[in-house]
Structure 1
Amino acid sequence: MAALKTVLDRIDANLEAALARLFKLVSIKSVSTDPAFADDCAAAAQFLSDELASLGFEASVRPTAGHPMVVAHAKAARPDVPHLLFYGHYDVQPPDPLELWESPPFEPKIVEAETGRRIVGRGVADDKGQLMTFIEAVRAFKETGDLPCKITVLLEGEEETGSPSLPVFLAANKGELEADLALVCDTGMWDRRTPAITTMLRGLVTEEVIIRGADRDLHSGIFGSAAVNPIHALARVIAGLHDADGKITLPGFYDAVAELPEEVAEQWRALKFDEAAFLGAVGLSVPAGEKGRSVLEMVWSRPSCDVNGIIGGYTGKGSKTVLPAQASAKFSFRLVGAQDPAKIAESFRAYVRKSLPQDCRVEFIPHGGSKALNLPFSSESLSRASRALQAEWDATPVLAGCGGSIPIVGSFKSDLNMDTLMIGFGLEDDRVHSPNEKYELSSFHKGARSWARVLDALAL
C-alpha cells in the first residue's frame, strides 16, 4: 500500500480530471421522481459502474422494480483489514423552477464567490459531488498502489423518492452486502472550516388520531354544551402532552433516554451555536421545548412530540355554527437513545384513551416508526475517523446529532447489523433541492483527501 502522502499528492494532481468526471455525472439528468428521466437514471448508474470497473472493482448495474442499483467490490492487498460498505445515491431532485437558475442546472460550471470557487449544478451537493469524493479517494489509492481496506460500494437511484426498492434489494442481497462498517457521505460539515461526524439520528413514531362523538354534525345552538365536542376533546389531548417545562408527559416516555456524555456536551457548548440566528432565520425568537436545554440538545439528542396537522368541523370561508361529529390530528414523536417505537406508540394510545370523555370514541392510524441510531462514542472507528479528519482540516471534528432520520442507516443496522460512519462535506448554504445548488470546490477537493485519510486510518 502506498504511503498516505503519495495518495494525497495524487488527489491534488488529479483535481482537474476529477472535476471533469464530476461534470459528466452531474450533466446526466437522473431525476428519479419523473418517469420521463428513467433512461437518464440508467445512464447515471452505468457511468458509475464503468468508473468503478475502470478502477479494478467487480462492478455491475443491478435492476430493481424502480431505478437500478450499482454494486461493486474490491479487495485489499492485506487480508486482515476491515471490510467497508460505502453508500451514496446518484438520483437528484427535479430542477424546477427553471427560471430561478442562473445557469442551466445540468450544465455544471465553476463560479467565483466571496468564499472561494464553487461548483454549480443540480445534484452536485446532493449527492453526486459527495459520492465522487469517495470514488476519487479510491482512485488515488489504486493509481499509487492498492486499497487499504476491502470495499463494497452500493449506489442507489431512488433516495430522493423514499428508496422504495432498497429494502427488498438489501434483503435479497444481504450476504453480498454484509461488511464490518458502513460509510455514508450524505451529510455535512459544521461550518466551512470544521468537519463533522454525525453520530446520532433520531427515530420516529407517527400516529393519526380520529376522535368521534355524535353520529352526525350538530347545530351548535341546539346541542352546544349538551353534546360532547370532539374538537374540545382533541384539544385537551394535545394540551396535556407537555407540562409547563416543556417535558412530554407520557408515562415512561423518558425511561430509555440517557444524558449526553459530558465530553460531548462540553464540545457542543464550545461550538457557541447562535440560537437567536437559528430561530430568527424562520421568524422566531424564543426557544420552545424543554426548559434548561439548549437548542442543539433539543434537536440533536432529545426526544420531541409535535402535532403536524389538525382537522375538524367547518374549515371553509365564513362561519358555520356546527358542532362536529369528529376531529383528527396527526402526531409525530422523534425518539432518541433506546426508546422503543412500539412502546411509545402504546403509551400514547393509552394516554389518549384515558383522556377522552365518555361519549367519545377513538381510532388510531399508525404511519410507521423507526428506532433512533447512535454510534457509540467509545467506537474505535469513530476515534480513528475523527483523528483523520482533524489531520486534514486542522480542526477538531464536531460529533454532531441529526434531528431527522436517514432510513438507509437504520436499514444497515436492522438488516445488516452494521454501524455507520456518516461523514460528508456539504454546507448549510449549498441550496440542496433548490435552484442554483452548489458544492464548494474545497468540499470536493478536501473531501476526497479526507476520505483517503479515513480509509488509511481505518486500516491501521
Structure 2
Amino acid sequence: MNAQAIDTYFKDHREDHLEELKTFLRIPSISSLSEHKTDVRNAAEWLKEAMEKAGLENVKVDETAGHPVVYADWLHAEGKPTVLVYGHYDVQPVDPLHLWETAPFDPQVRDNKLYARGASDDKGQTFMHVKAVEALLQLNGELPVNMKFIIEGEEEIGSPNLPVYVQENQELLKADLIVISDTGMQGPGRPAVCYGLRGLAGIQIDLKGPKGDLHSGLYGGAVQNPLHAISQILASFHDKDGAVTVDGFYDNLVPVSDEERAEFAALPFDLEEEKKALGITEDFGEKGYSFIERTWIRPTLEINGITGGFSGEGIKTVLPAEASAKITCRLVPGQDPDDIVAKLKAHVESHKPAGVTVEVSEFDKGKPFLTPYDHPAIQAAGRSYEKIYNVPTAFTRMGGSIPIVAAFDDILGLPVVLMGFGLSSENFHAPNEHFHLENFDQGLRVISDYLFEASDL
C-alpha cells in the first residue's frame, strides 16, 4: 500500500466527499415511519449510484418484504480473501425536533463536526467504505481483496427482513470475513475494535380502562386510572439499585472471566469526565459492576417512552381511557430474546392491577454476539488503527445492538470485525447527531489500510 498516495488522494478529494455525504444525509430515510417509505427507497437508489460511481460492480437494489437491500461487489482479486461490508442507510426519527440546533436533514459543519441525522449512525460510516474502495480503484486500478457490500434499510427497526435475505442469498454473500462500521471508538483519538455486542428485545405494553376518557372529578377514585396502573407495572421492573426484578431475567448468563474484567478496568476511562460529558451528577446501576461493565456485559431493561392522557399546555382534568409504554432490553451472551420476551409478558401479567386489560406486543429482537478478540481478522484491524492513529488499539465490547450481526454469525458462519469510527458523545438516536470529521478523515485511511492487511489473512 502506498500510504502517501492514499493520503494525498483523500486530502485532494475531501471537500467533494463531504458534499456527496451531505447529499446522502439530506434524504430523510426514517425506516420506522411509513410516511418516509419513499425517502428510504430514494436513499437506496442514491447509494446504488454512489457505488457504481466508485467502480463497484453488479450493483443492485434488492427487494425484501420491507425496505430494500443494496448489494454490490468487486471480485477480481484472484486467490485473495473476500471481505463482506455491512452497513445501513436508514436512520432514526428526529424527535424532539425543537432540540435540534439546525434542521436534522440540513447537514452543517460546525467545529469540524458534521451535524445531521445519520451523520454518525450509519450513513457517514457506510459512505467511508464506498469512498475507500473508490480511492483504491482510482489509484491502483484494482483492490487488494475481493469485496462485497450489503447495505440495508431496516437496521433501526431491528432488521426484520434481512435474516431472510441472507438465508436466501448465502451463495451470493459467501465471503471470508464481515466488516461493519456501526460502532464507536473508545474516545477521541482512541481507536477500538469491538468484539462483543449486546442483544435486544423490545415490547410495547398497552393498557385499557374505561371505554372512553372520563371526568376525573366525577369518576376519579372509583375507576382505575390506566396511567396509575401502568406506573405500577413499570415500577415493578427494577429494585432500588436498578437490578431487573423479572423472574429468571439473569438465568443462564455466560460468566465473564476475571481476566476480561481486569482488561476493562485497565482501559483509560474517567468516570468523572463521563458524567460531565453526559450532564449527570451521579451514575446509577447494579451494585458490584463498573460503569463500563454495566454498559457492556450486563443486561438491562429500559423504559423508552410512556403515553396516555393529556400532555398539552395547561391542565385537563381527565381520567384517561388508555396508557402505553415502550420497553427495550439489552441482552448478553446466555440470554435468548424470545425467552426474555416470554418472561416480560409473564411479569406484566402477574403485576397487572385490577380494573384494566393489558396487551403486550413484541418488537425488535436480536441475539447477543461475541467473538474471540484474538482472532487474526480482529487483530489485523487493530494494526490498521494503530498505523493511522499512532496509539494502541483497545479491544472492547459495546452496549448497543446490531441485530443482524448474530444472524450473520448463525447463517454465514463468518468472523465479524466491528471497526467503528463514531464517538459516544455524537448524539446518535438523539437531537444534534454529529460526526467528528477527524475520524472521517482518519477512518478513510484506516479502512484502506485494512483491506491490504486483510489480503494476507
- Find out whether 1:15 has 2:17 as its counterpart: no
Letter aligned with residue 182 of structure 1: I
In the alignment, the residues of structure 2 paired with residue 118 and residue 327 of structure 1 have an alpha-carbon distance, to the nearest angstrom, of 40
Distance 1:329 1:441, change over 3 A: closer
Distance 1:25 1:410, change over 3 A: farther
In the alignment, the residues of structure 1 paired with residue 373 and residue 443 of structure 2 have an alpha-carbon distance, to the nearest angstrom, of 23
How far did residue 220 of structure 1 move?
Answer: 9.3
Letter aligned with residue 129 of structure 2: F
Is the 2:192–2:420 Cα contact (8 Å) retained in structure 1?
A: yes
| 1:88 corresponding residue in structure 2 | 87
Is the 1:98–1:435 Cα contact (8 Å) retained in structure 2?
A: yes
Q: Secondary structure at the match of 1:176?
A: coil
| 1:74 corresponding residue in structure 2 | 74
- Find out whether 1:45 has 2:47 as its counterpart: yes
Match of 1:148 among 133, 144, 147: 144
Letter aligned with residue 266 of structure 1: A
Distance 1:213 1:285, change over 3 A: same
CA offsets, 1:414-439, max 9 Å, x none?
A: 55444421212233455667898765
| 2:423 corresponding residue in structure 1 | 427
Distance 1:218 1:418, change over 3 A: farther
Deviates more, 1:125-134 or 1:367-376: 125-134
Percent identity, aligned pairs only, is 32
In the alignment, the residues of structure 2 paired with residue 389 and residue 204 of structure 1 have an alpha-carbon distance, to the nearest angstrom, of 29
Is the 2:199–2:402 Cα contact (8 Å) retained in structure 1?
A: no
Match of 1:133 among 128, 132, 136: 128
Match of 1:32 among 29, 32, 35: 29
In the alignment, the residues of structure 1 paired with residue 451 and residue 331 of structure 2 have an alpha-carbon distance, to the nearest angstrom, of 31
The RMSD of aligned alpha carbons is: 4.4
In the alignment, the residues of structure 1 paired with residue 165 and residue 293 of structure 2 have an alpha-carbon distance, to the nearest angstrom, of 35
Q: Secondary structure at the match of 1:250?
A: coil
In the alignment, the residues of structure 2 paired with residue 456 and residue 249 of structure 1 have an alpha-carbon distance, to the nearest angstrom, of 49
| 1:286 corresponding residue in structure 2 | 282
Letter aligned with residue 267 of structure 2: L
| 1:62 corresponding residue in structure 2 | 61
Q: Secondary structure at the match of 1:175?
A: coil
TM-score (norm 2): 0.77
In the alignment, the residues of structure 2 paired with residue 423 and residue 404 of structure 1 have an alpha-carbon distance, to the nearest angstrom, of 14
Alignment of 1:57-456 (within 5 A): 57-64=56-63, 69-75=69-75, 77-79=77-79, 81-90=80-89, 100-101=101-102, 105=106, 113=111, 125-139=120-134, 141-142=136-137, 143-144=139-140, 146-156=142-152, 166=162, 169-210=165-206, 237-281=233-277, 283-310=279-306, 317=315, 319=317, 329-355=325-351, 362-428=358-424, 439-456=435-452
Q: Secondary structure at the match of 2:172?
A: helix
TM-score (norm 1): 0.76
In the alignment, the residues of structure 2 paired with residue 242 and residue 355 of structure 1 have an alpha-carbon distance, to the nearest angstrom, of 13
In the alignment, the residues of structure 2 paired with residue 243 and residue 412 of structure 1 have an alpha-carbon distance, to the nearest angstrom, of 36
In the alignment, the residues of structure 1 paired with residue 100 and residue 301 of structure 2 have an alpha-carbon distance, to the nearest angstrom, of 38
How far did residue 341 of structure 1 move?
Answer: 1.4
Distance 1:144 1:262, change over 3 A: farther
Deviates more, 1:447-456 or 1:233-242: 233-242
Is the 1:52–1:59 Cα contact (8 Å) retained in structure 2?
A: no
In the alignment, the residues of structure 2 paired with residue 122 and residue 236 of structure 1 have an alpha-carbon distance, to the nearest angstrom, of 35
Which is greater in Rg? Answer: 1
Distance 1:127 1:355, change over 3 A: closer
Is the 2:157–2:364 Cα contact (8 Å) retained in structure 1?
A: no
Number of equivalenced pairs: 442
